[in-house]
């Protein structure tokens, strides 16, 4: 007996140059790999003015499932099975609860994300492992460390990362911090402001090396250890890419990827939960703990290399596509 193919209409931000846009492309790639799923795509952008989503099907096909990706306050109820992929960025937010009510099934990327949702929504919530369809070939020569290179992306926590880094090392240490940004002037400005604020060296500039990188591929190729300390509850692509490159990550305990990884893949920095605005909360790192962690890594290179070897041998494919626990498999089971 031939099983019926499931027809899915996916609404996502796949044309956006953003975190959500890249996740949407990964989602579409996964759906295309499903042998029991026909998928059609409708693009919607958060940068557009709020408008109705066109669900006319005259020129498409008979829809079984409407899959809505990270739409937040654009989740809608249709005449089909309504499935939404949702990742809460903060805890105790009620901004999207009413829109999540429109969905028959909610998909999140970790148990911790599921636990953030109100109890009445958890019964219809499924946890599906995050997937990145981009293939990266880990550089095995990274096992030979001449200089330890930490890396991060320019963001809200970069000034704190710079402060911890400048307090940890000097120009005499064989280390570097690589920062990715499409705007190098913004990074230079932040570096100079941080140095001026800290005022560690008055006569001779003994601050450790900082490298500015323009793209993620170069950043991960030249670095050994990635720093992702945003404190948000959603998955960060940078952290997934780091693991796929064989780079251990420095992160906080609320990172949703930790549920899918062995402890050899990451170093935890102390943090606390606090308010971001109104009743919403996230985690905030302790800069002194980040300083201690970077020092511990450079002082124990053998341990670091052992962790890196563990990733390269066992975990760098953790977020590759697998049919048996994919979103396509879940859609076919509904």
pLDDT of residue 55: 58
pLDDT of residue 58: 45
**Architecture of domain 140-315 in this structure:** 3-Layer(aba) Sandwich (3.40)
pLDDT of residue 225: 96
pLDDT of residue 140: 72
Residues contacting 171, CB < 8 A, separation 6+: 205, 206, 207, 208, 209
What are the boundaries of each domain within the chain?
6-131+320-333, 140-315
What are the φ/ψ torsions at residue 45 (nearest 5 degrees)? -120, 135
The distance from CA 56 to its chain's CA centroid, rounded to whole angstroms, is 33
pLDDT of residue 19: 92
Class for the domain spanning 6-131+320-333: alpha beta
What are the average pLDDT values for consecutive 10-residue runs of the chain, which has 334 residues? 78 92 96 93 71 55 91 89 96 93 97 97 97 83 82 96 98 97 97 95 91 95 96 97 96 98 97 92 97 97 93 94 93 92
pLDDT of residue 2: 47
Which stretches of the chain are assigned E, i.e. beta strand?
Answer: 6-12, 37-43, 65-69, 81-85, 105-108, 125-127, 148-153, 175-180, 209-213, 225-228, 249-251, 266-268, 271-277, 280-285
pLDDT of residue 31: 96
What's the Cα-to-Cα distance from 253 to each of 130, 132, 146, 289, rounded to whole Å? 18, 22, 30, 13
Domain 6-131+320-333 and domain 140-315 have a common topology = yes
pLDDT of residue 60: 54
């Amino acid at each position: 007996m031939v099983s019926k193919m499931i027809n899915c209409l996916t609404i996502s931000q796949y044309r956006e140059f953003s975190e959500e846009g890249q996740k949407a492309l990964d989602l579409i790639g996964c759906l295309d790999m499903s042998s029991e799923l026909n998928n059609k795509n409708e693009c919607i952008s958060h940068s557009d003015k709020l408008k109705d989503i066109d669900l006319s099907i005259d020129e498409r096909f008979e829809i079984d499932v409407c899959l809505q990706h990270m739409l937040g306050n654009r989740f809608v109820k249709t005449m089909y099975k309504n499935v939404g992929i949702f990742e809460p960025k903060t805890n105790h937010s009620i901004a999207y609860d009413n829109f999540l009510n429109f969905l028959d099934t909610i998909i999140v990327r970790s148990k911790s994300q599921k636990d953030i949702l109100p109890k009445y929504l958890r019964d219809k919530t499924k946890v599906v492992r995050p997937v990145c369809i981009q293939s990266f070939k880990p550089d095995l020569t990274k096992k030979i460390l001449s200089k330890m290179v930490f890396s991060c992306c320019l963001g809200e926590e970069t000034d704190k990362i710079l402060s911890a880094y400048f307090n940890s090392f000097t120009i005499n240490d064989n280390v570097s911090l690589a920062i990715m940004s499409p705007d190098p002037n913004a990074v230079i400005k932040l570096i100079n402001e941080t140095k001026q604020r800290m005022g560690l060296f008055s006569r001779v500039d003994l601050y450790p090396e900082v490298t500015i990188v323009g793209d993620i591929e170069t950043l991960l190729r030249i670095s050994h250890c990635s720093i992702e300390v945003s404190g948000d509850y959603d998955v960060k692509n940078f952290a997934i890419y780091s693991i796929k490159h064989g780079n251990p990550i420095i992160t906080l305990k609320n990172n949703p990827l930790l549920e899918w990884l062995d402890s050899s893949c990451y170093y935890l920095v102390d943090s606390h939960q606090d308010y971001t605005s109104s009743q919403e909360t996230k985690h905030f790192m302790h800069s002194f703990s980040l300083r201690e962690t970077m020092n511990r890594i450079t002082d124990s290179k053998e341990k670091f290399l052992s962790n890196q070897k563990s990733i390269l041998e066992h975990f760098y494919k953790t977020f590759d596509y697998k049919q048996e626990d994919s979103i396509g498999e879940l859609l076919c089971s509904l």
